[in-house]
Amino acid sequence: MVIMGLGNPGPRYERTRHNVGYHVTDFIMQEPPVRFRRRLFKSYLHSSIPGETDRRSLLMVRFTGFMNRSGEIIPALMHRYGVTAEDIIVIVDNMDLQPGVCRLKKGGGNAGHNGLKSLIRYMGDGAFYRLYIGIGRPSPGIDVVDYVLGEPGGTEALDITKTCLRAAASIKELAYKPFTEVMEELNRREP
């Protein structure tokens, strides 16, 4: 399976709500420790967590450009690794879920999310899996862009970090558990 965490590159965006996809992939790669590598002349980083005899391997991918252009690497990934949309899990922020909540689902629209719009455009449909990490909605009077590109603080930051850790643990379970089982367990668990 290809696990693609969405985010924006660079220190300016590193701790923002919009980069929770990057955070989840970072947690997945902590143990056993693996690092991203760049394919020559490619605009993405990748790292594989190899499967054993009875396990499926997981390929972690991070686009090196901005989130709203994430789909640009999809044709190359699909060709190189022989995967279809149904082999891809995209990890992305979701304002309709409160911090501390995450949901794994198959297919759907773009929900106004520019990263998802780009992926759907390049895949031709929305049949890929999405792991939504809740970031909540901004308070009245706060601009949506400022909110998603802002850094959470206090208990909100703690809730988002706990959710990212829980999501990372669930993704790692996909190496040896059926997808539906992992999805049901993750979606039923609350913080």
CATH of the domain at 163: 3.40.50.1470
* Predicted confidence (pLDDT) per residue in 68-81, tens digit: 999 999 999 999 88
Q: Cβ distance 65 to 78 under 8 Å? A: no
The catalytic residues are 18
| Domain span at 59 | 2-188
Strand pairing partners for 62?
45
Q: Exposure pattern of 78-116 as b/e (b: 16+ CB <10 Å)?
A: beeeebebebbbbbbbbbebebbbbbbeeeeeeeebebb
* Predicted confidence (pLDDT) per residue in 104-151, tens digit: 999 999 988 999 999 999 998 889 999 999 999 999 999 999 999 999
Output the pLDDT for position 154: 94
Q: 42: which residues sit within 8 A by CB, 6+ positions away? A: 73, 76
Write the DSSP symbol of residue 39.
P
Output the pLDDT for position 123: 92
Q: Cβ distance 58 to 3 under 8 Å? A: yes
Here the tokens at position 136 are: 């909540």
Residue located via tokens 């693996």: 34
The number of domains in the chain is 1
* Predicted confidence (pLDDT) per residue in 2-47, tens digit: 999 999 999 999 999 999 999 999 998 887 777 777 665 567 776 7
Q: Report whether pLDDT(85) > 80.
A: yes
pTM of whole model > 0.85? yes
